[in-house]
Structure 1
Amino acid sequence: MATVYFYEKPGCINNTRQKQMLTAAGHQVIARNLLTEPWQKECLRAFFGSEPVHQWFNYSAPAVKNGALDPNQISEEQALALMLKDPLLIRRPLMQVGDVRVAGFDQHKVHHWIGLTEILGADLESCPRSSEPEPHACLSSATEK
C-alpha cells in the first residue's frame, strides 16, 4: 500500500472522511496542515498538473463563495499568488504519493491511482465548515519532513 502525504484543513469533516477511506484501503496517511505549510509557488503548482486553473480552487473558500473572486477569470500566475497568500483558496486535499501529486478527492480517480476499498456516493470534496485562515514547505519526494 501507499504512503500518502495528505494536506488538509484540520477539522474539515470531509478531509476526515477522506483520510478514513485511505486508511481503510490500507494506506499510511501522513496528515499535514494545508493552511500552515510554507508553500512555494513551484511546489504548489505541481499538485494541479494539467487541470484548468478554475479547478485548482476551493469553491467553499469565503472569497469564492461570496463572489469576491471568480476562479474562471484568474490566470495561473494570479491563482498561485492568491493561494500563497490565502491557502483557504486551495482545493483540498492535496495528496502526494512518491513523485505523484494531485489536488482534490475525486473518489474514482483516487481509486484508479492508489486504490480504495469503497466509493461513497456522497460529495467528499466540499468541506461544509469554514474558519479563518492561519499563517502557511514543499515536501521533496525524496525526503520526509
Structure 2
Amino acid sequence: MTHIIFYTKPGCMGAVRQKALLESYGHTLEERSLLSTEWTPEKLEPYLAGLELKEWFNPNAPAVKSGQVIPGALSREETLDLLCTDPILIKRPLMNIGDQVLAGFDAEHLKQIGLCEVPSGYNTGCHSQDQGGTCASGS
C-alpha cells in the first residue's frame, strides 16, 4: 500500500486511533514527533497550504484554549514563525503521503484520495479525558 510519514505528539490517543485506522488499510506508518522536529516556515507551509490561516492551529493547544493565541489574528508570516517556534500549536497530524503533504485527519479528504474510509462514529480526535488531557499539552 502506501508509506506515510506521520508527525504527531507522542502519546496522543487520537493519533493512536488514526494510525490504527490507516494501518488497518495496509498502509505503513513512520511516526515522527511533531514537537522535536525542527520546523522552518519553508518546511511547514506546504502542509498547511490547503487550509485557511485560522485552521493551521490545533484548537486543543493550551494557548489556543486559554485565548492567549487567537487563530487567524496574525499575518501568514507571523503565524508560520509562531508555529515553528511552538509546534504544539500546529494542527496535527502532519502527513507525507507519497508526493502529497497535509495537515489534520480530514476523513472526507482521506476517502477522496483513496487512503481510507473513516467509519461513522469512529473517534479520530483528541479529547481531554485521553491520558489525563495530555494530548493537547506540550508535555
TM-score, length-scaled by structure 2: 0.88
* 1:110 alignment counterpart: 110
Offset, 1:98? 2.0
Fraction of identical pairs, as percent: 37
* 1:132 alignment counterpart: 138
**Residue segments in structure 1 that go unaligned for 5+ positions in a row:** 134-145
* 2:83 alignment counterpart: 83
Q: Deviations over 1:45-77 (max 9, x none)?
A: 010123111011001011100001110312211
Offset, 1:127? 4.8
Amino acid corresponding to residue 132 of structure 1 in structure 2:
G
Q: 2 CA distance for matches of 1:114 and 1:20?
A: 16
**TM-align CA RMSD:** 1.6
Amino acid corresponding to residue 89 of structure 2 in structure 1:
L
Which of 120-129 and 104-113 deviates more? Answer: 120-129
* 2:28 alignment counterpart: 28
* Conservation of the 8 A alpha-carbon contact between 1:108 and 1:119: no
**Runs of 4+ with deviation above 4 angstroms:** none
* Conservation of the 8 A alpha-carbon contact between 2:56 and 2:90: yes
* 1:66 alignment counterpart: 66
* 1:136 alignment counterpart: none
Give SS of 2:59's match.
Answer: coil
TM-score, length-scaled by structure 1: 0.84
Q: 1:89 to 1:118 in 2, by over 3 A?
A: closer
Give the length in aligned residue pairs: 133
Give SS of 2:63's match.
Answer: helix
* Conservation of the 8 A alpha-carbon contact between 2:13 and 2:126: no
* 2:101 alignment counterpart: 101
Which of 116-125 and 98-107 deviates more? Answer: 116-125
**Residue segments in structure 2 that go unaligned for 5+ positions in a row:** none
Offset, 1:123? 4.9
- Residue 40 in 1 paired to residue 40 in 2? yes
Which of 119-128 and 75-84 deviates more? Answer: 119-128
